[in-house]
Structure formats: C-alpha cells, structure tokens
Structure 1
Amino acid sequence: MESFRYDPIDLERPAFRLLRLLKGGGCDIACELFQAFLDERENAVSYEALSYTWGSAEICDGIKVNGRWLPITPNLYRALQDLRLRD
C-alpha cells in the first residue's frame, strides 16, 4: 500500500487539519484527513482533540488515512481503537 503524504495546508486562510475516524471493527483503522477553516462559521465541524505524541516514539502500528498507509505509535493506535465506533 502506498504511504500517506500530507497535502499542503492552505496558508491563505486560518486552516487546520482534522482526522475523521471511520467506523469499523477489527484491527484495521481507517480515517479521513481534511482541512477545516476557522473563518467558516456556517460550515463549522465539531471535533475533539487528542494529543498523539505521548509515550513511546516507537513506530510499530499503522492506519489508513485517505486510503494510504500512515505509521503511528502504539499508544495512538490503541486510543483510536478505543474511540472508534463500530457502527
């Protein structure tokens, strides 16, 4: 599977990236990464924040982001497993 690459973020507007955790079961985790903009109040997306830099920096797990493989730490993998909805 092809490795994930970040698309450039829009620097012309107050933008940030959000990760949408897709529902599912099992050990494969799929997500969508997209840009959100602080100046679009009518299209605001609600979100919750999760730090992904705690614990070991060892990369030994992975997820699919926009259909591509992204290596992640074991702590982040376990957190996403626990947060993901089955249905």
Structure 2
Amino acid sequence: MGYSALLFCPDEKAARVLSQILAELEFSVDARPEPFAAVKKISSQRFDAIVVDCENEQNGALLFKSARSSGSNQAALSVAVVEGQTG
C-alpha cells in the first residue's frame, strides 16, 4: 500500500524535484501550483502528507490551517519547504 501526498509548489522546477523525491518514497503525488486549488483538494480528499512551499508565508499558513481544520487531514504529516538564506 502506498501513501498519498498533496504538494503545493508554484515553482515548476522545484515541484518536479519534490515530486520525484516523494515518488521515490512511494508516495503518489497530487501537485497543485495554485493555493486555492490546493485548499479545495485538501477539503475533499485525505492525504498522508501535505508538503507546502512556504516562499509565500500567507499561502503556507492558509494551506496548513486548511489541513488542520479538515476532518480527514488533521493527522496528515505536514512539511514546510523553506529556502535558506545567509547574510
């Protein structure tokens, strides 16, 4: 039995890399580049993991809040993808 993951990432290149990594971990990936499409999917389907690109903090907060308020995704593993910067 495999796992399912919702991936929210507006950056197409990063989404491809993240999808490949998740697939190698035996996750079926539903990638959504638009925040409201991702929220709609969270409210209608159960996921084992929700992976969110948090470059835009408001979108990240919206998605994590939606997952926590969703009855079927409260227990989903939530992963925030952030870009490290020095300086």
TM-score, normalised to structure 1's length?
A: 0.26
Q: Which has the higher helix share?
A: 2
Q: Please say which structure displays the higher CA radius of gyration.
A: 1
TM-score, normalised to structure 2's length?
A: 0.26
